[in-house]
Amino acid sequence: MSITVYSKPSCVQCTATYRALDRGGIDYQVIDISTDEDAFATVVGLGYQQVPVVVTGQDHWAGFRPDKISALS
């Protein structure tokens, strides 16, 4: 399963999300929405106005969600 984390610099919830994914041994790709207009449009298109936005296959969510992250392992 491909996991993408849309984030921006100096984001506390983004850092917490990376750490939780790392602890779970889960591979993911980070895309910075502050430098990638297409990524920003994707996040807005999904209906979110905050980061991180985590996309996993058919599921997606915003914010630090340890419950969702632990369900991935």
Distance CA 58, CA 7 (A): 19
pLDDT at res. 1 = 75
Q: Where are the beta strands (DSSP E) in 13-57?
A: 29-32, 53-56
DSSP string, 6-24: EE-TT-HHHHHHHHHHHHT
pLDDT at res. 50 = 95
> Which residues in the chain come in under a pLDDT of 70?
none
Q: Which residue has the tokens 């996309």?
A: 55
Q: Which amino acid type is present at position 18? A: Y
